[in-house]
Structure formats: C-alpha cells, structure tokens
Amino acid sequence: MGPGNDTHISGFLLLGLSNDPELQPPIFGLFLFMYLITVFGNLLIILAVSSDSHLHTPMYFFLANLSFVDICVTSTIIPKMLVNIQTQSKIITYTECISQICFSTLFSGWDNFLLAVMAYDRFVAICHPLHYMVTMKTLLCVLLVMVSWIMSVLNSLLQSLMVLRLSFCSEVEIPHFFCELHQMIQLACSDTFLNDIVMYVSAMLLAGGPLAGILYSYSKIISSICRISSVQGKYKAFSTCASHLSVVSLFYFTVLGVYFSSAITQSSHATAVASVMYTVVSPMLNPFIYSLRNRDIKEALMRFFKMEALKGTSVLVVKKCP
C-alpha cells in the first residue's frame, strides 16, 4: 500500500451529476418527481395484482415482484442523493457507501433474474399453451423467485465483501451520484486485480446467463408466432409478451449504454448520466409500459378504486344514520 492509504476511511464525497449550484434545485425537483412516480406507479401495479383475483396468475405474480424490486432499486439510491442536494452536502459515510453497493447490486441482479423468469413464463404460455397451467404451478413460481433472490443475495454479499478488503486513500471523491461497484473498485488504492476478476466473471455468469435465457425464449416465441396462420392469432400471441419485451429492451439497452459510454468516452460524468437510465428512468417507465398496454391491469385498478369509492360512500351513509 502506498502512503496515505486508510483502510478505515470514514467517508467519501459523492460529486453527483453536476457541480453547478444553479443546477441543484432543478436536479432535486426532477429526481424527486421521478422517484415519487416510480414508487406510486409500481405500488399501483402491486395493489392491482394483490387485490384482484383475476390477476392471480404466474405472469402477474412475477410482475408484482418486479415492481417491488424496482421500488427497492430507486429507494437504495435516490433518497440519499436528494438529502445531499437539500443539505448541500456531498458526504456519504463508509458504511452508507458499502450498504449502497450491497443493496444496489442485490436489487439490480434480482431485477435481471426476474426478467429472465418472466421470459420463461411467456415461452411456456406461447410455445406450450396446453401445458401452461400444469407447468407454471404456484410452487414452481415461488421457487423461481426464491432462487433468483438467493442468487442475487449471494452475488451481492460476495461483491460487498470484496470491496471491504480494499483500502482507499483519504478524501476520496466519487464521480457519481451513488456508490457504484465499478467506480469504487477504480478508486481503491490497493490492488484490485482480484476484485476485477470477480466482478467481470459475475457479470458474465449472472447477467449473461439470464440474457442468454431471454434471447433463447424469444427466439422460440418468435418461431411459434410465425407458424400461426391467422394475422389475428399472431397479433394476440405477440401482444401477450409485448410489454415484457419492451421492459427487457429498455433495461438491457440502458445497461449496455452505460458500459459502452464508459468504455468509449472514459468519462466518469458520462457514465453517471447514463446510469440514470437504468437506475431511475427504467423503473419509472415500467409501470406505464405494463399499465398502458395491459387491459387487465387497467380494469383491475378501476375495479379497486370503484370498490374503495363505494366503501367510502357506505361509511358516510352509516354515519349519517341515527
């Protein structure tokens, strides 16, 4: 280790998206708005799925889990960013930083696995429709979610423990709006060769594996749709997976955009701006993609709010009665 290294460093400085003081209020307002929309939109999806028995199917079970994970991803990152802007402080403690790495890695990985699980669900529904209810039993659905969770937890713990072994120089500045794993490894003063190996191998296995599964599932889905004779049948089959395909495309294109931008420009600021897409924008847009393109979700929400309105009216009537 070089001079000035401090294994027990107390904290870091998050530089955020901009150092311009005049841009801080607009950034605060924009990210607060996006965070509230993300939480509210995904909660509506969870509410619709849990309250309507018509939506107690494997596809919507996975969708509710995806919405929960999207809330967790943004809640791991955005609140701390908003607090720092509001208090005009860039400090994040060592413990908070490690926690951000742990939970952001956990929920991003779980998000990735769930997208693969949902692709498998669509594959069974379209390619083997007669065996769908037999194959996608409740036990299997719960097992798929639990395995996804366990794999994500193990990867998160491994990556966090690998970061804990690193030493950092004093007054470390992080050119990002949250403690991102790759940025933290780059800022370490100690040897990071093992960390790089673990990070890239994990990315290949835990990101490349689900992506390969998604691509395989959709290759089979497209092949099955092409064999359908009627145009109406093709449209109906494709519409059942259009929302999921849109979410998958948004997630992977934004993630790939982050890594390509960092590889091409070598600019930390460009990487931070690109990271906004998959940490904030993608979770915010997912509820709109599913609700706007999905009649079942919209009808479930309408039934829920009508029932709540009727309950409210009934309570008022009872109170007025002597």
Q: Is 215 within 8 Å of 245 (Cβ atoms)? A: no
The answer to whether residue 182 sits within a structural domain is yes
The answer to whether residue 307 sits within a structural domain is yes
**19: amino acid identity, one letter:** N
The answer to whether residue 4 sits within a structural domain is no
The answer to whether residue 297 sits within a structural domain is yes
Q: What Cα–Cα distance (Å) separates residue 21 from each residue in 64, 80, 87, 135? A: 39, 18, 12, 56
How much of the chain exceeds pLDDT 90, in percent?
47
The answer to whether residue 161 sits within a structural domain is yes
302 CB burial (10 A radius; 0-12, 13-18, 19+): exposed
Count up the domains in the chain and report the number.
Answer: 1
DSSP code per residue over 19-78: --GGGHHHHHHHHHHHHHHHHHHHHHHHHHHHH-GGG-SHHHHHHHHHHHHHHHHHHHHH
pLDDT in tens, 240-261: 788 888 888 888 887 777 666 6
The answer to whether residue 1 sits within a structural domain is no
317 CB burial (10 A radius; 0-12, 13-18, 19+): exposed
CATH label of the domain that carries residue 146 = 1.20.1070.10
Average pLDDT over residues 269-294: 81
pLDDT band for position 228 (cuts 50, 70, 90): confident
Measured between alpha carbons, how far is 206 from 199 in angstroms, rounded to an integer?
Answer: 10
Domain containing 91 equals 9-320
The answer to whether residue 126 sits within a structural domain is yes
- Cβ atoms within 10 Å, residue 267: 13
The answer to whether residue 290 sits within a structural domain is yes
> Does residue 5 have a pLDDT over 50?
no
Question: In this predicted structure, what is the pLDDT of residue 55?
Answer: 87
